[in-house]
Structure 1
Amino acid sequence: MGATAASGYFITLEMYDGDINSPVVPIVIYVVVGYVVGKLITNVFGLAVDSMLQCFVADEELNKSCGGAQSTPPLLKNFLDKNSKK
């Protein structure tokens, strides 16, 4: 958000130097928009991570009799096996 505010400040000063008295209101708007966009992006990423872990858990539960997860990529399976609490 700091980079958004700083770049918005400089853009506002460059484009509207003589037209506005104070760039505070546009900068607050830039920060709010930057926060909302960042929050939306992290929510999408979080949803993708949750979906991947849910698929792993379903794979583990459906294939218990076959020795565990069968469709999990090897890197993910090794990471989860190494970092799981037993």
Structure 2
Amino acid sequence: MSIAPMDAAPLTEAGGPAPVLLTVEEAARCLRVGRTTCFALIRTGELESLTIGGLRRVPADAPAAFLARRRTEQRAA
């Protein structure tokens, strides 16, 4: 018997509500970048995030907003 690696499927596929906040790892997967790159984007303020207790979370719409800004910047250049 083989156990497949667990994939973080969106909650909407499981029938639950869509997540409001993402972990940094989930945001990194959305952007197809590594965890370290995602933290660097957060550190520079390019990717919105917030802290809840000791946890860093990224609003679910922040990766799309980041990409929209980057696309606009690249078109203007």
TM > 0.5 = no
Determine which structure has the larger helix proportion and give its number: 1
Q: Bigger radius of gyration, 1 or 2?
A: 1
Q: TM-score, normalised by structure 1?
A: 0.29
Determine which structure has the larger strand proportion and give its number: 2
- Asked which structure has the greater RCO (Cα within 8 Å, sep 6+), the reply is 2
